[in-house]
């Protein structure tokens, strides 16, 4: 990969691909959920410009049966050949860092193969240790290109809070997840024409991840999702990191196992699940990016319904006032 690949792309706004957040401007609910019915193509429910990658459910099942037999490195070798416009979505957690290191090794094996760029969703609320890690990853893997996406129209935490309010993650957690994570991801997938994406999910992380396959089709976007280390344990991941001198988040040495935003991440105790420190005390295990069915489409649907109810209530009150004042109603 040439020196031009070192350019980092940072994007915080795109009016053409960003969902509108005000209830009066909500997109039709049918548009939000248009990808639910098929879930078999890398273009279903997403941009029509994405390259076509269509998999039937029997095909997905067959591929998973074969991919389960392969090592993580061989899975990565296979998907690099098989899927166009392949990216890695990462928050620089341990599992994602293993994949990044493996990809760098594969690139040395096949220097003419297509590179796998990284997509980093910068919520603006990451730990400083996470931002420091990003710089160390760039130094360790200088040929890897990182596309950084931030919340729309916000480049700093101050700008975010000025636009959306302070502590939105507490006052409206669903809306926060949409603005800080889901919308930037959708914008990234649209602008980069993503057809397939590598994730750092593993079954041993528990929660909703305990039955995932190596390969999935996202039911909402239609994008192919690949989990190359799906069958690895946390111990295996740590051992690889140590043996291959892979940079990692310093918070891991302070009792953290899964690191996200500073306001929703805490250390875990001995014997707790790996992701027990995420949203501790809340009935929540995912931020929405990996949910099978979008909670955000439902959230926007509720907003739309509420706006319609408010409009109906206002209209009824107007009619009532006009009747009391003796003004003929248009419906009379």
Which residues are known catalytic residues? 287
Cβ atoms of 32 and 300 within 8 Å: the answer is: yes
- CB neighbour burial string for 216-230, b if at least 16 within 10 angstroms, e if fewer: bbbbbbbbbbbbbbb
Please state, in angstroms and rounded to a whole number, the distance separating the CA atoms of residues 299 and 307: 12
Encoding tokens for residue 81?
């050949």
Helix (H, G, I), strand (E, B) or coil at 198: strand
Cβ atoms of 265 and 127 within 8 Å: the answer is: yes
Please state, in angstroms and rounded to a whole number, the distance separating the CA atoms of residues 128 and 262: 9
Please state, in angstroms and rounded to a whole number, the distance separating the CA atoms of residues 262 and 256: 11
Continuous segment of H or E residues that includes residue 225: strand 224-226
Encoding tokens for residue 20?
């509108």
Please state, in angstroms and rounded to a whole number, the distance separating the CA atoms of residues 71 and 277: 29
Continuous segment of H or E residues that includes residue 290: none
Q: Is 152 exposed, middle or buried (0-12, 13-18, 19+ CB in 10 A)?
A: buried
Encoding tokens for residue 216?
């999935």
The residues, any chain, with a CB within 8 Å of residue 317's CB and separated by 6 or more, are none
Helix (H, G, I), strand (E, B) or coil at 278: strand
Encoding tokens for residue 180?
């800080």
């Amino acid at each position: 990969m040439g020196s031009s690949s070192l350019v980092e792309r940072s994007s915080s706004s795109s009016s053409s691909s960003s969902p509108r957040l005000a209830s009066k401007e909500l997109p039709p609910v049918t548009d939000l959920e248009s990808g639910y019915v098929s879930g078999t193509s890398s273009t279903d429910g997403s941009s029509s410009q994405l390259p076509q990658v269509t998999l039937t459910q029997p095909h997905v099942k067959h591929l998973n049966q074969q991919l389960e037999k392969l090592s993580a490195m061989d899975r990565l070798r296979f998907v690099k050949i098989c899927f166009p416009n392949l990216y890695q979505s990462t928050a620089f957690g341990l599992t994602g860092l293993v994949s990044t290191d493996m990809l760098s090794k594969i690139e040395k094996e096949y220097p003419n193969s297509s590179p796998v760029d990284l997509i980093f969703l910068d919520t603006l609320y990451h730990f400083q240790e996470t931002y420091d890690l990003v710089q160390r990853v760039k130094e360790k893997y200088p040929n890897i290109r990182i596309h950084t996406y931030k919340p729309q129209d916000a480049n700093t935490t101050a700008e975010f809070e000025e636009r959306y309010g302070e502590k939105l993650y507490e006052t409206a957690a669903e809306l926060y997840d949409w603005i800080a994570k889901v919308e930037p991801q959708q914008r990234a997938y649209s602008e980069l024409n993503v057809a397939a994406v590598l994730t750092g999910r593993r079954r041993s992380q528990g929660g909703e991840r305990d039955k995932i396959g190596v390969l999935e089709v996202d039911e909402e976007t239609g994008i192919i999702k690949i989990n190359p280390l799906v069958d690895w344990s946390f111990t295996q991941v740590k051992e690889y990191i140590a043996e291959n001198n892979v940079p990692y988040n310093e918070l891991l040495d302070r009792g953290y196992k899964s690191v996200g935003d500073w306001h929703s991440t805490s250390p875990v105790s001995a014997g707790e699940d790996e992701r027990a420190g995420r949203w501790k005390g809340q009935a929540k295990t995912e931020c929405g990016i990996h949910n099978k069915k979008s909670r955000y489409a439902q959230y926007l649907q509720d907003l739309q319904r509420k706006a319609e109810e408010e409009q109906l209530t206002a209209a009824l009150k107007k009619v009532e006032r006009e009747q009391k004042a003796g003004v003929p109603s248009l419906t009379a």
